Amino acid sequence: MKADVFAPEHFQWDYHDRVATITLNRPERKNPLTFESYAELRDTFRNLVYDTDVRAVVITGAGGNFSSGGDVHEIIGPLTKMTMPELLNFTRMTGDLVKAMRNCPQPIISAVEGICVGAGAIIAMASDLRYATENSKTAFLFTKVGLAGCDMGACAILPRIIGQGRAADLLYSGRAMRAEEGERWGFYNRLFPSDTLLAEAQKMASKLAYGPTFAHGMTKNQLNMEWDMSLDTAIEAEAQAQAICMQTKDFERAYNAFVKKETPIFEGD
């Protein structure tokens, strides 16, 4: 995947100055996902593991909404007619999107406006940072259609972001979490006006993209890996990770810049 010429079929891709912006672009339907867009997003994040041009990613939606989740007619309807093996292939594929987002080294920022529900809420949840507007409404509404709240890693990831009790509230009820509530609970990192949301997300992405990107990737890796480690194992893992980072040129550049009272220039090597 060449970042500056990549042309996906099922979402909009913009690349500028180390930052890729993914726009879910079906505004007339509030940007729902289809079988094809799920798969293409999964493959895109898998390929980002090997992409040295993209240093940070922003995900947003077109037309004032983030995403209405799985398309009712193109996904929900067909699912009611599938066999168990076909259903399991689908649920594993959607889970693979979350795995790909968590396993790519680039920090991912979701810029959420308006409707952010179902699989859209999962994409926001799986991002590293979440920015939103005051009109954002986020709902893990799987129980509203007779499904379990444990979808695409929600029961593992959401409690780690907002706490067990709050996650249970949202996953059992399927109710909408207001933006102010989401920021207070720690789901959203910051709230911005609609006209500045994307620019603020891209500004943060650019800051990360020009930071020590190898070290950022290591940080993301450890945030994921340490979930099921004992404290002693985690401390040892971090000792090894930090020793690896101490061998990078970025670390040496930062030291030399500090000595000279200059701003370090990071190259991710």
pLDDT in tens, 150-183: 999 999 999 999 999 999 999 999 999 999 999 9
| Per-residue burial over 198-212, b = 16 or more CB atoms within 10 Å of its CB, e = otherwise | bebbbebbbebbbbb
* Per-residue confidence (pLDDT) for residue 92, from 0 to 100: 95
> Is the Cα dihedral 174, 179, 182, 184 positive or negative?
negative
* Per-residue confidence (pLDDT) for residue 53, from 0 to 100: 95
**pLDDT band for position 246 (cuts 50, 70, 90):** very high
Averaged pLDDT, 227-238: 92
* Per-residue confidence (pLDDT) for residue 196, from 0 to 100: 98
Residue 4 has pLDDT above 90, yes or no: no
pLDDT in tens, 102-157: 999 999 999 999 999 999 999 999 999 999 999 999 999 999 888 999 999 999 99
What is the number of helices (H) and of strands (E) in the chain? 11, 9
Secondary structure (3-state) at 254: helix
Q: What radius of gyration do the chain's Cα atoms show?
A: 19
Query: In sequence order, what are the residues at sequence separation of 6 or more whose Cβ sits closer than 8 angstroms to the Cβ of residue 114?
Result: 30, 61, 64, 65, 66, 133, 135, 136, 137
Average pLDDT, whole number, for the chain?
94
* Per-residue confidence (pLDDT) for residue 5, from 0 to 100: 75
- Which range is least confidently modeled, 3-7, 133-137, 187-191? 3-7
C-alpha–C-alpha distance, residues 37 and 21, integer Å:
15
The DSSP secondary-structure symbol of 67 reads: B
C-alpha–C-alpha distance, residues 62 and 49, integer Å:
26
**pLDDT band for position 20 (cuts 50, 70, 90):** very high
* Per-residue confidence (pLDDT) for residue 145, from 0 to 100: 86
C-alpha–C-alpha distance, residues 256 and 258, integer Å:
5
What phi, psi does 82 have (nearest 5°)?
A: -90, 155
Predicted structure pTM score? 0.94
Which run of H or E residues covers position 70?
none
* Per-residue confidence (pLDDT) for residue 116, from 0 to 100: 98
pLDDT in tens, 198-214: 999 999 999 999 999 99
C-alpha–C-alpha distance, residues 3 and 69, integer Å:
26
The DSSP secondary-structure symbol of 108 reads: E
**pLDDT band for position 43 (cuts 50, 70, 90):** very high
* Per-residue confidence (pLDDT) for residue 72, from 0 to 100: 83
Q: Long-range contact list for 3-12, CB < 8 A, 24+ apart?
A: 3/51, 3/53, 3/54, 4/53, 6/44, 8/40, 8/44, 9/36, 9/40, 10/34, 10/36, 10/37, 10/40, 10/41, 11/37, 11/40, 11/41, 12/62
C-alpha–C-alpha distance, residues 52 and 68, integer Å:
32
C-alpha–C-alpha distance, residues 55 and 209, integer Å:
5
* Per-residue confidence (pLDDT) for residue 75, from 0 to 100: 87
